[in-house]
Amino acid sequence: MFLIVGLGNPGLKYKFTRHNVGFRVVDELHSSLPSLLLRKNSVIDNLAPLTLKGVVLAKPKSFMNLSGQAVKSLVKKYKIPITNLWVIHDDIDLPLGKIRISKGRGAAGHRGVESIIKELGTKNFVRFRLGICPKADKPPTKNMVRGKPKNPEKFVLQKFTKNEEKIVKQIIKKTAETIEFSLKEGVEKAMSKYNC
């Protein structure tokens, strides 16, 4: 059994923000795998998981910084081995449009990932990291320093521009494809194919 968790913040206010790409990938997976859907569970604690054949998809309904509590309760409920926990989240250190699959890495300042590591007591899970930072070749602006936002906490709660949103939609589809490939062929093969 695999647990695939998209990170984000609940509510319409945050739906299209940079911090919510994890939620959007789970939505894409849910719509692209309808034949695997067994049932929608009632809301349990702060979660709304969907159970597929061998896969639990979840979008924690707690806010980002408390994601670990929800993930821990799902890991326990479904008896998920930590190596079968896959977390999808935004990554401010990657340029927009990039995907990186990693495992056993530190949180690098991502509060949702920090919360999961703290609650589980390990970082030995798989992460699908989606770049959300404007490309470095763009001219600097008053809000950016050396290709990074001056205020990361504020930046991740901003919506993508119209042009960025086009890229985001493509990368959400590509991430869903990457996860489907990983389920069939394994994470190591997916890393070789998609980490570029």
Give the type of residue at 53. Answer: K
Of 145, 115, 146, 149, the closest CA to residue 132 belongs to 149
Catalytic residue selected from 19, 30, 89, 110: 19
Inter-CA distances, 135 with 147, 148, 164, 170, Å: 7, 10, 10, 16
Q: What is the dihedral of CA 174, 133, 152, 47, to 10 degrees?
A: -10
26 token code pair: 């789970």
Of 60, 45, 52, the closest CA to residue 6 belongs to 60
- Per DSSP, the residues of 60-110 read -SS-GGGHHHHHHHHHHHHT--GGGEEEEEEEEEEETT-EEEEES---TT-
19 as an active site residue: the answer is yes
Say which residues have a Cβ less than 8 Å from residue 156's Cβ, sequence separation at least 6: 17, 18, 19, 90, 92, 132
Inter-CA distances, 4 with 23, 78, 93, Å: 11, 12, 22
Catalytic residues: 19
